[in-house]
Structure 1
Amino acid sequence: MTSGDSRESALRPAPSDNRRAGRTVLFAARSATALHRLLDTLPVFAGDDRIARRFTLVPGSDFDAEALAAVERAGARTLPWERARAGSFDLIVAASPKGELRALRGALALLPHGAGFGKSLPGEGTPGAPSGLDPAFLLTGGTTLATRHALAHPDQLTRLAGTSPRAAAHAVVVGDPTLERLLAAVGHRDRYRAALGTGARRLVVLTSTWGPESLLRQRPDLVTELLALLGYDGYQLALVTHPNERSRRGSYDLEQGLGPALDAGLVLPGPHAEWATLLVAADAVVTDHGSTALYAAALGRRVVTAYDGGDELLADSPTGQLLAASPRLTAADALPGVLDRVLAAPRAPAALAAADAAFAHRGRALELLRDELYGLLGLAPTGPAPSPEPLPVPARPPRQPAAFLVEAELAGDRVTVARFPPWRTRPARFLAAEQGVAGERHAQSAGLLYRRRSDHQGGAHRVAWTATGWIDAALRDHPGCATAGVLLSQTRALLRRRGGPPLVLELAPRPCAGRLIHTDPAAALCAAHVWLAATPGAPATFTADIGGHTFPVTLRPATPAEAEQLL
């Protein structure tokens, strides 16, 4: 076999894989962003063994690091660029007109890189032209790049026709396959929030695009500012970064740079589809001028803008319209008030209109796209109408903080507790730490130490603390600690104030609209620590106000059996 024969056999599926007029489709991506868009279209070919799917990385992007990681993890076939440009394909699918796509041979279907075409990148292509609709990239020598240009909304076709009638002649409106995945997942919202440990908290998702006007560049301290201001029991914070930013920094450096925030409970989704899961799970989104905000608006999520302006945003685009209709976050400490207002009010008609101006054919995008792609392949589609691939349930829950600075106030029979990261600079009432998980510096400084009961593993000689044995040792070894406790379950804990008797804390859930809200018993232990400092002894009943929800708490003397139970 010659080298040419070997190359062609690598590009073309084996006869056994193509019993009925087989076709080879090449997915050509310049970056992780483009690849992820392409992956959302794969259901159009699901169940068709006539299609061989190949992936290649188009050179020329500054953001190609880790670009093919998602398909490599899945075991998909990838082709080096030189082999891809030497071959011939029945169909090429790309999500960016930039790079050396003309070097590939085959009909080209071009998909949007994002939603809404809301940016114009200074110094690139035609000044003021929307990135993705710029004739400088869609035409070469008067000829069109794409055999078919798939758009998400008729307004996009109108805009393209205004700048390049020749390119518009090859365009068709099919809708947005990525939005289809989000819309298909809205019924899984509770499942996603459970996997994230959100509970009854408000999940606020910060979204940052890439470049000098992105949220992370314009407001690099906003994440830590919000974590220091928003109580852990009332809010959960997530950060969705553009794949280009992850490529620029590298996943490791990105996570290391966010280390203190991640330790404080920040959710950082994976680089592929988990960002969409976060939008489905969110209560509100704080955004710059990236197109992710349009997906949030299409889902009905309240949008708050933190974009500080610049030269990239096209004011007349759907993204520009959405930001103009959204409240602006001028300072981190204003966010709770802004959220109270927007979550209590109906959705703004202008925000609805902005999302409607970006996405057409909702619920039909994959079906319409399939018709177009199979038409280019010269095949009739097979099987049922395509369904969006389910969004992933977050596989890695956020870190559970091991230490908190606690603000607390006792008024009558109510103790209000708010917990914050231990690195916050504002003064607090005391430090609470989970012994054996928090660092020793925090453990030695804690006014309240606690531990969680864990499942035991078998062994030759099992050693287990009794509840009071551990509490006595914790108070002995940490002279600055005033209260130590063991969390026995979601509703019970055993604790002792220094110099006092062992007590049982019983924590009732709060009924709310047909559900029961449980709080973290460690937060209730913080309330008991404050109560016992002011009102020694038991029995006692008081109310703990935690994260905006109230919970009845009872303290009573522990029985000998309760005090000696094993941990």
Structure 2
Amino acid sequence: MSAGQRLVVVNSTWGPRSLFGDADDVLPRLLESLTRELPVDAYRRCAVLHPNIWHGHGPGQVRAWLRRAEQAGLTVVPPLGPWRQVLAAADAVIGDHGSVTYYAAAIGTPVLLGAFPEADLDPASPVAELGRTAPRLRPYEPLLPQLDELLAHHHPDRHAQLTALASSSPGSSAALLRRAFYGLMGLAEPSAPAYLPRLLDPTYGDLPSDIPPAPPLLAPLQVLTHLRDHRPAAPPEIAVTRHADGLGAHPAPPRGPEPTATPASPPAAAPTTSQAPPHTASPTTSHPGAHTAVHEDVPDVTRLALADLVLHDSRPEPAAWTREAMRRHRHCAMAACVTAPDTCLVRLPDGRLVTLTAAPGPDGHRDLCDPAVYASALYAWYERGKPVEELLDGLVVVTGGTSHRLQVTITPPR
């Protein structure tokens, strides 16, 4: 998770009337909305699916259904993965009548019900009570306003009665179950304390303790930028908002500024081609622009022909890769390679290399985001005809509600 990011979790139990199996095809529309409407740097998206979904359909089929969403940034938690940690970190959960969605409500997390078959539940059950009190997803309406509404009107004690119903003896299930089982067998219990061992996740090969790493963004990115007017004695500041285009949809119309970070005027809509529209000075303090950034490993290689900025990561010789990428994709303006969690190397059209590195704050801590954002900020600066040398004293990139100060180094062509 990057500073300022919100975590939205999609959760489904198993069965034909679950969110994953709903006959109204809620899930495909939901996945498209998560991709199209939520900026990738402001929102982290995870999917937690019941193990029976994986075992019933097979991991290969489940991955195939979710592949495009994964390429657009969805993290799919494996069946034995750290779903508890994901749930604890979630800012919102979109779920159904399964136990994980219920647990989310019980710990005070905002819950939006995407599917809820009341007829399948005992009306007196705690889960049925969740269905009577939690708001419902409106699948044919934009998702982002619904999330904003959910978070704005939520109170941690909204489902306090569900917390009380979750367990009559918290933390005692191992002892109670062992006592019952040994009683049924007519045997005396062992003297050692009862406990539930943790399951090892074969995907990780160890005890899962953290949220899985975000998958690489292989989907094309439509990037909206704002260049704020340069204030004296302050580094230039550029706001960057990126939308993944992994499901074949164009970004949702911008809703205006992001809280506390983005400029006051709304961004221009992203173009459908690689050419950004002419830029004119805004009457406010921002100058909007747009471009398309495409990872070189994009599944649909035809999308590379639309790239203004070609991206890659973890190449053994990043400088050589940027040079070759500019040769292979002659239509693009820049090539950028993420070389570390806090660093990006960018080759300019004139062959110079620019290294962008997250600068430590006063406390020595670096607020990290995807370093490919740095390259988009540099593109926004360069396409306006501004000298890169003016960035040698630093650059501030604003994304996901957080400002990131960068150190800029320029080296001659090589």
- Taking a change above 3 Å as real, the CA distance of residues 386 and 340 of structure 1, as seen in their structure-2 partners, is farther
Q: Is the 8 A contact 1:321 1:351 kept in 2?
A: no
Q: Is the 8 A contact 1:366 1:387 kept in 2?
A: yes
In structure 1, how many angstroms separate the alpha carbons of the residues matched to 2:83 and 2:243? 27
**Range 432-441 or range 380-389, more displaced:** 432-441
In structure 2, how many angstroms separate the alpha carbons of the residues matched to 1:510 and 1:212? 51
How many residues are matched? 354
Aligned to 1:495: 346
For 1:329, the aligned partner's letter is L
In structure 2, how many angstroms separate the alpha carbons of the residues matched to 1:466 and 1:328? 47
- Cα deviation 1:327-377 (Å, max 9, x = unaligned): 332247654444445556664534120231231100222122222222233
- Taking a change above 3 Å as real, the CA distance of residues 250 and 381 of structure 1, as seen in their structure-2 partners, is same
The structure whose residues are more often helix, as a share, is: 1
In structure 2, how many angstroms separate the alpha carbons of the residues matched to 1:332 and 1:537? 46
- Taking a change above 3 Å as real, the CA distance of residues 277 and 542 of structure 1, as seen in their structure-2 partners, is closer
Percent of aligned pairs sharing the same letter = 29
Structure exhibiting the larger radius of gyration computed from Cα positions = 1
Q: Is the 8 A contact 1:417 1:526 kept in 2?
A: no
Aligned to 1:266: 74
Give 3-state SS (helix, strand or coil) of 1:517's partner.
Answer: coil
Q: Is the 8 A contact 1:503 1:555 kept in 2?
A: yes
- Taking a change above 3 Å as real, the CA distance of residues 247 and 511 of structure 1, as seen in their structure-2 partners, is farther
**Range 488-497 or range 394-403, more displaced:** 394-403
**Range 392-401 or range 484-493, more displaced:** 392-401
More RCO (CA 8 Å, sep 6+): 2
Aligned to 2:221: 405
In the superposition, the TM-score normalised over structure 2's length comes to 0.74
Aligned to 1:30: none
CA shift, 1:229, in A, is 1.5
CA shift, 1:556, in A, is 4.4
Aligned to 2:87: 279
Aligned to 1:159: none
CA shift, 1:270, in A, is 2.5
- Taking a change above 3 Å as real, the CA distance of residues 502 and 336 of structure 1, as seen in their structure-2 partners, is same
Aligned to 2:58: 250
Aligned to 1:233: 41
In structure 2, how many angstroms separate the alpha carbons of the residues matched to 1:349 and 1:402? 39
Q: Is the 8 A contact 2:112 2:134 kept in 1?
A: yes
Aligned to 1:79: none
Of the three residues 176, 188, 197, the one matched with 1:380 is 188
Gaps of 5+ in 2: 205-211, 229-236, 252-269, 271-289
For 2:340, the aligned partner's letter is S
Q: Is the 8 A contact 1:229 1:333 kept in 2?
A: no
Q: Is the 8 A contact 1:410 1:531 kept in 2?
A: no
Give 3-state SS (helix, strand or coil) of 1:426's partner.
Answer: coil
In structure 2, how many angstroms separate the alpha carbons of the residues matched to 1:418 and 1:242? 31
CA shift, 1:262, in A, is 2.1
1:142-161 superposed matches below 5 A: none
Aligned to 1:220: 27
For 2:224, the aligned partner's letter is A
For 1:242, the aligned partner's letter is H
- Does residue 289 of the first structure (1) align with residue 97 of the second (2)? yes
Aligned to 1:551: 404
- Taking a change above 3 Å as real, the CA distance of residues 417 and 215 of structure 1, as seen in their structure-2 partners, is same
For 1:489, the aligned partner's letter is A
In structure 1, how many angstroms separate the alpha carbons of the residues matched to 2:141 and 2:42? 14
In the superposition, the TM-score normalised over structure 1's length comes to 0.55
CA shift, 1:282, in A, is 2.7
- Does residue 523 of the first structure (1) align with residue 373 of the second (2)? yes
Aligned to 2:332: 481
For 1:431, the aligned partner's letter is T
- Cα deviation 1:216-250 (Å, max 9, x = unaligned): 31313212321222122222222233344444433
Q: Is the 8 A contact 1:433 1:446 kept in 2?
A: yes
- Does residue 206 of the first structure (1) align with residue 67 of the second (2)? no
